[in-house]
Structure 1
Amino acid sequence: MQTLSTSNLPTRPEETGKAAAALPAPQYSLRRRVIAWAGTFIGVTVPLAGLIVAIVLTWGWGFTWVDFGLLVGMYLLTMSGVTIGFHRLFTHRSFQTFKPIQVVLGALGSMSFQGPLLDWVGRHRLHHQHSDHEGDPHSPYPHGPGLWGLFRGFWHSHIGWAFAPMPDGLDRYAGDLRRDKLILWVSNLFPLWAFLGVFIPAAIGYAFGGWTGALTGFLWGGLVRILLGHHATWCVNSVCHLWGKKPYNANDESRNNLFVGIIALGEGWHNNHHAFPSSARHGLRWWQIDWSYIVIRLMVLCGLAWKVRLPTPHELNMRGETQAPLEPAAG
């Protein structure tokens, strides 16, 4: 067993592929702006409408254990695809695993309806390079003084940023993954994975309750689950850059937030993550619940993951907080 330092892992685009300078201020055509706005509007409102319909139907049809199981099960699976797959594996390469598992994680993350894998990785690496500075696509700073400025910053970082087109040149920020034919294939099949993300819970619901079960499965395990997953992920961008504690010097306004840490499966320990972006473990204290890291640890124990990266005691101290060394995590 061996703990690998996080200090040598590439996190900037020039270290992961073709060199990429800071992107210029975007000047998008009206057509691109309309397409981006319409796509985001549909992606936000349809799951919300699904929640309203699901609540209305509950008064007449009830809320079954199958509905509950599909909501929780699909949430845990697809959000794990985002947190373990999209984020910790593909974006920051904090551990290694077999190709079939990479496909599964990429497919599950795509079922969250957060966009194709390579677009997600590129935008997130862009965020890390410019976190809370000019060029950050979803920083809540600066958006003016007072409560109105706080609201504008929260709105932009939570969902407002998604109404803008994808930045030009974003593919350079995922150049290493674009050269991997299997990962490129997974990313290009996003429409298929997204469809399966709502078809599977509907099919399971049908198996247990006929067409009524199919509809409630589609609503609770599909649309409502997508809504919850979206806002849990967006809270990392908004809440975790506005409210919480900053135990480490991360050169930005990232914060640790207990509530987001729980609902986002460990992603809410955001200051920890920005201080050590290549670490597979975000909850660095024993009490900081990190579901995603627990799964990675189980994968290690089963021989399904290796070269898991954690910050060394020296790296922890250099960032401003002293604590006991982390346990070994990789063989």
Structure 2
Amino acid sequence: MLDDTPGTDRSVAAPTDGQPGAKPMLAGRKASGEQVALYVVVLLPFLALLAAVPLAWGWGIGWTDVLIALAFYAVSGLGITVGYHRYFTHGAFKANRGLKIALAVAGSLAIEGPVIRWVADHRRHHAFSDREGDPHSPWRFGSSFAGLMKGFWYAHLGWLFDPEHTNQDKYAPDLLADEDLVRIDRQFPRWVVFTLLAPAVLGGLLSWSLTGALTAFFWASLVRVALLHHITWSINSVCHLIGERPYASRDKSANFWPLAILSFGESWHNSHHADPTCARHGVDRGQVDISARVIWLLEKLGWATDVRWPKRDRFDKLAARKAAEQAAA
């Protein structure tokens, strides 16, 4: 029986297109105004990131900017990894109402899309990972060098501009039934404005200057958003092309250690795809997983319950299956 509480991983159990009574995978198209807004929120922070190095060379960054940027990076990034991903998409734990709302808002501050759309896209990714139907597989254009380069670009960024919507009624019905999440989802434009302007306000107040507000906006708003975007998108692109694959999974997901800290543990991607509902992705010794540590703290505080921590025997079996597959290849 499926659990209809927010955070349940329904993607594997969802009916696929072509089955009797199946809901379509796609539903509607993005409005032209939404497409324009998407170009702005993706490209403007990216241009700021490109300008960051020459601007940092002797101008415009201080400890106030750094601290504000780190704070907003941590809150919005963990909102994605702990909230959007491990809780809302996969149900790695249960959260009380206050934590649920806080995680939905924190994830919205990353400007990666409203929570329900993000979850629908990601559940669809797991349902069809690296197969036809996956919204962002780097293998969609084949395994030749040219195909992989085209696929890398598409998986990293290009898929965002696909005008088709993933069917939320099919992939996120539990979230659509939650009034709190529907409200936060609809308020997404407000959270975008807040996450861009709040650092500038803080920078201006802490420095008591217009310059402080402008530098905080540049570093803690634009550069911070761009960096977090590209780290998140690298999980879709890099972590399905490069890295180690110690555990059996149905796709080409890989563990890529260089991104572990900046992604708060999301780059242990093969481990995640091997056991999607597990609350810790860095399941092996020495694998840093900041998101898992945050979930552990939330559990200790009593705000998160029924946490699905990894079972060593399960991963040992997945490792043995992987070794058998490699031996038979």
TM-score (norm 1): 0.86
Q: Does 1:189 align with 2:184?
A: no
Question: Displacement of 1:315 after TM fit?
Answer: 2.0
Shift of the 138–71 alpha-carbon distance from structure 1 to 2, 3 Å rule, reads same
SS in 2 for 1:167: strand
> Contact 2:94–2:306 at 8 Å: present in 1 too?
yes
* Letter in structure 1 aligned against 2:265: G
> Contact 1:240–1:260 at 8 Å: present in 2 too?
no
SS in 2 for 1:263: coil
Q: Does 1:266 align with 2:265?
A: yes
User: In terms of mean alpha carbon deviation, does 32-41 or 216-225 score higher?
Assistant: 32-41
Shift of the 56–318 alpha-carbon distance from structure 1 to 2, 3 Å rule, reads closer
> Contact 1:36–1:164 at 8 Å: present in 2 too?
no
SS in 2 for 1:51: helix
Aligned partner of 2:229 in structure 1 is 230
Aligned length: 309
Shift of the 253–60 alpha-carbon distance from structure 1 to 2, 3 Å rule, reads closer
Q: Does 1:85 align with 2:83?
A: yes
**What is the alpha-carbon distance in structure 1 between the residues aligned to residue 26 and residue 174 of structure 2?**
24
**What is the alpha-carbon distance in structure 1 between the residues aligned to residue 140 and residue 245 of structure 2?**
19
- 1:102 pairs with 87, 100, 103, which one? 100
User: In terms of mean alpha carbon deviation, does 151-160 or 42-51 score higher?
Assistant: 42-51
5 Å-filtered alignment, 1:76-225, equals 76-209=74-207, 210-225=209-224
SS in 1 for 2:211: helix
Aligned partner of 1:72 in structure 2 is 70
Question: Displacement of 1:272 after TM fit?
Answer: 0.5
Structure 1 unaligned regions, length at least 5: 1-8, 323-331
* Letter in structure 2 aligned against 1:140: P
**What is the alpha-carbon distance in structure 2 between the residues aligned to residue 250 and residue 111 of structure 1?**
32
> Contact 1:144–1:150 at 8 Å: present in 2 too?
yes
SS in 2 for 1:254: coil
> Contact 2:44–2:222 at 8 Å: present in 1 too?
yes
Q: Does 1:21 align with 2:16?
A: yes
**What is the alpha-carbon distance in structure 1 between the residues aligned to residue 88 and residue 201 of structure 2?**
30
* Letter in structure 2 aligned against 1:142: R
TM-score (norm 2): 0.87
* Letter in structure 2 aligned against 1:291: I
> Contact 2:25–2:166 at 8 Å: present in 1 too?
no
**What is the alpha-carbon distance in structure 2 between the residues aligned to residue 27 and residue 106 of structure 1?**
23
SS in 2 for 1:278: coil
Higher-RCO chain (CA-CA 8 Å, sequence separation at least 6) = 1
Aligned partner of 1:307 in structure 2 is 306
* Letter in structure 2 aligned against 1:199: L
> Contact 1:83–1:265 at 8 Å: present in 2 too?
yes
Question: Displacement of 1:25 after TM fit?
Answer: 8.2
Shift of the 301–164 alpha-carbon distance from structure 1 to 2, 3 Å rule, reads same
Question: Displacement of 1:24 after TM fit?
Answer: 6.0
Question: Displacement of 1:303 after TM fit?
Answer: 2.0
**What is the alpha-carbon distance in structure 2 between the residues aligned to residue 265 and residue 38 of structure 1?**
30
Shift of the 26–294 alpha-carbon distance from structure 1 to 2, 3 Å rule, reads closer
SS in 1 for 2:45: helix
Shift of the 26–306 alpha-carbon distance from structure 1 to 2, 3 Å rule, reads closer
* Letter in structure 1 aligned against 2:107: G
State, as a whole percentage, how many aligned pairs show the same letter: 39
Shift of the 205–262 alpha-carbon distance from structure 1 to 2, 3 Å rule, reads same
